[in-house]
Amino acid sequence: MDAKILIESFAEFARSKNVDRPTMIRILEDVFRAMIRKKFESDENFDVTINADKGDLEIFRIREIVDDNSEDIWDFDKISLSEARKIEPDFEIGEEVYEKIELEEFGRRAVQMARQTLIQRIKDLEKDILYNKYEEQVGEIVSAEVYQILGREVLLMDGEGNELILPKGEQIPKDRFRKGDSVKAIVHRVDMMNGNPKIILSRTSPVFLERLFENEVPEVYDGLITIVKIVREPGERAKVAVESYDDRIDPVGACVGMKGSRIHAVVRELQNENIDVINYTDNLDLYVTRALSPAKVSSITVNKETKRISVFLKPDQVSLAIGKGGFNIKLASKLVEYEIDVFRELNEYEEEDVDLLEFGDEIEGWIIEELKKTGLDTAKSVLTLTREDLLRRTELEEETIDEIFRILRQEFEQ
Domain with residue 154: its CATH number is 2.40.50.140
Pick the range with the lowest mean pLDDT from 33-37, 170-174, 184-188, 220-224. Answer: 33-37
Question: Of 107, 132, 157, which marks where a domain is finished?
Answer: 132
Name the band, by pLDDT with cuts 50, 70 and 90, for residue 347.
low
38 plus 89 within the same structural domain: yes
Are 98 and 115 contained in the same domain? yes
> Is 249 a residue whose pLDDT tops 80?
yes
Same domain, 241 and 231: yes
Rg value, the chain, Cα: 37
Which whole number is the average pLDDT over 315-341? 90
Instruction: Judge whether 156 lies within some domain.
Output: yes
Q: Please report the pLDDT score of residue 10 as a whole number.
A: 76
- 91 shares a domain with 107: yes
Is residue 244 domain-shared with residue 274, that is, in the same domain? Answer: yes
Question: What pLDDT score does 414 carry?
Answer: 57
Inform me whether the pLDDT recorded for 7 exceeds 80: no
Kindly report whether the peptide bond that precedes residue 294 is cis, defined as omega within 30 degrees of 0.
yes
H or E element that contains 261: helix 261-269
Helices (H) and strands (E) in the chain, counts: 15, 15
Instruction: Kindly report whether the global pTM for this prediction surpasses the value 0.95.
Output: no
For the cut 90, the answer to whether the pLDDT of residue 141 exceeds it is: yes
| Domain stops at, among 164, 188, 204 | 204
**What are the C-alpha distances in Å from 90 to residues 65, 81, 97, 343?**
12, 10, 11, 107
CATH number at residue 95: 3.30.1480
pLDDT value of residue 29:
86
pLDDT of residue 27: 85
- Mean pLDDT comparison of 2-6, 285-289, 310-314, 339-343, highest-scoring range: 285-289
Q: Does a structural domain hold residue 344?
A: no
Calculate helix-pair angle for 327-336, 315-322, nearest 10 degrees. Answer: 70
Distance, in Å, from the CA atom of 233 to the CA atom of 238, rounded to the nearest integer, reads 6
Neighbour count for residue 264 (Cβ, 10 Å): 15
Instruction: Verify that 116 and 212 share a domain, yes or no.
Output: no
Give residue-wise pLDDT tens across range 46-71.
888 888 677 778 888 888 888 888 88
Q: Count of domains in the chain?
A: 3
Residues 73 and 194 in one domain: no
Per-chain mean pLDDT for the chain: 87
Q: Is it the case that residue 351 has pLDDT exceeding 80?
A: no
Domain end among 176, 204, 232: 204
Residues 124 and 111 placed together within one structural domain of the fold: yes
Do 9 and 128 belong together in one domain?
A: yes
Identify the pLDDT of residue 349: 40
Residue 116 dihedral angles phi and psi, to the nearest 5°: -65, -40
Both 53 and 105 in one domain: the answer is yes
In a domain? residue 19: yes
User: Can you say whether the dihedral through the CA atoms of 149, 155, 157, 162 is positive or negative?
Assistant: negative
Confidence of residue 348 (pLDDT cuts 50, 70, 90): very low
| Domain presence at residue 263 | yes
Average pLDDT score over residue span 374-386:
83
Mean pLDDT of 215-239: 94
Residue 78 domain flag? yes
**156 Cβ neighbours under 8 A, 6+ residues apart:** 144, 145, 146, 147, 163, 164, 165, 166, 183, 201
Does any domain span residue 321?
no
Per the domain annotation, does 225 fall within a domain?
Answer: yes
Under 8 Å between Cβ of 141 and 153:
no
- Domain match, 153 and 126 both: no
What gap in Å lies between CA 390 and CA 387, rounded to an integer?
Answer: 5
β-pairing verdict for 96-101 and 237-244: unpaired
> Could you tell me if 29 and 111 lie in one domain?
yes
SS3 content of the chain, % helix, strand, coil (to 5): 45, 25, 30
Q: Residue 125 — very low, low, confident or very high, per pLDDT cuts 50/70/90?
A: confident
Host domain of residue 160:
137-204
Q: Is residue 37 part of a domain?
A: yes
**CATH code assigned at 215:** 3.30.300.20
Q: How confident is the model at residue 154 (pLDDT cuts 50, 70, 90)?
A: very high
Among 1-15, 111-125, 265-279, 370-384, the range with the most confident prediction by mean pLDDT is 265-279
